[in-house]
Structure 1
């Protein structure tokens, strides 16, 4: 499994070489934007497509996705309010809401501190105007220090392009692709719907802390 992970990393780096006289520096994504994403695992355990809204100023995210998990279709809508320490799992169809503690630090969309620069590549081509995208790739250790991540961000704007990391519970490598990013957010997506008003704070059943990476574990 580990060999397959680094083989994939190597192929990504060799996809399109681009010489640069200046080494790219770590960067942070814009503070407010909306984008789409796909998530998949190496063993096809999980596949999902979703839309997310990101607000680094107030440390909050809204994620809505649909997909398959263990060959079962699911729909997931989550509102993560890190400053309040609250996670809302929202079901608009049934108009139900589960309110859980969100015991985690907010991880901004950025090249993490300590990440090692890998390469600068072109997705597409620079032979013609508007035909290619310049991205920078980085790798480093996951917070648990037991696995690696491999990230790509655009050279201009510092928008996330892709992420690869290993997850023990999902059986191997997890890949995330980001696209259709738009600057700005609709503040309304960070307001719980009216039917969440009376939701009582529930403890996590497994006793584990909920954090950014736990959505893939």
Structure 2
């Protein structure tokens, strides 16, 4: 299955930024007004995925855009940003996350170096937390024209580590489309596109040879390492 969403060729274009801000505002309104159904809904878990992810602040600043590979069974995620669509406002990141093991690597393939760190929070935008609350269903686009609409479930929950909360839109097949993270200091929107239900390159989820044996970096007191915090 492939989920394709429109992405502009120039992220820094001011007109597109204004449109995105309007779209974000509209989506928040839709989430708040979604029709709530019975409480029997249980969070699903996303399949293996390959695709693209963009990260934007509510003010319209593009934090990152890049390719991701996700192993749903092994709970592994590789995200490489600012490669195929580099922009001046995007972070250059290469992250390899091992959520079950509670560790991750910040990789610099150009210099063949990396940092190994502890994960204090394993929440990420590609899977619904087990304690998420079903909020309702939303139909985007047109219901009357075949192929012109998308029905998604809205899941919400809190984030104790950041004193914030989130809102996720997920397809009926459990593919995450967008996730809002509302934190004290900022609000971030994660959008996924061109999703395919497969791991195209398994080697991306393997620790590079130059990172093997790397000692664990010390975590400063009060720091919470997570996938989300890499964009804060």
Higher percent of residues as strand: 1
Tell me the equivalent position of 1:182: 196
CA distance in 1, matches of 2:117, 2:142: 46
TM-score normalized by the length of structure 1: 0.77
Tell me the equivalent position of 2:212: 197
Q: Where do 5+ consecutive residues of structure 2 fail to align?
A: 1-23
- 1:136 Cα deviation (Å)? 1.7
Tell me the equivalent position of 1:115: 133
Q: Is residue 37 of structure 2 the alignment partner of residue 39 of structure 1?
A: no
Q: Where do 5+ consecutive residues of structure 1 fail to align?
A: none
Tell me the equivalent position of 2:157: 140
CA distance in 2, matches of 1:177, 1:106: 16
- 1:178 Cα deviation (Å)? 1.3
User: Aligned with 1:74: secondary structure?
Assistant: coil
Q: Is residue 46 of structure 2 the alignment partner of residue 30 of structure 1?
A: yes
CA distance in 1, matches of 2:48, 2:206: 16
8 Å CA contact 2:50, 2:195 repeated in 1? yes
8 Å CA contact 2:176, 2:192 repeated in 1? yes
Tell me the equivalent position of 1:164: 180
CA distance in 2, matches of 1:50, 1:213: 15
Q: CA RMSD, aligned part only?
A: 3.3
| Count of aligned pairs | 205
TM-score normalized by the length of structure 2: 0.72
CA distance in 1, matches of 2:166, 2:69: 22
Deviations 1:52-94 (A, max 9, x none): 12223222111111266xx755310010123333211111222
Tell me the equivalent position of 1:48: 64
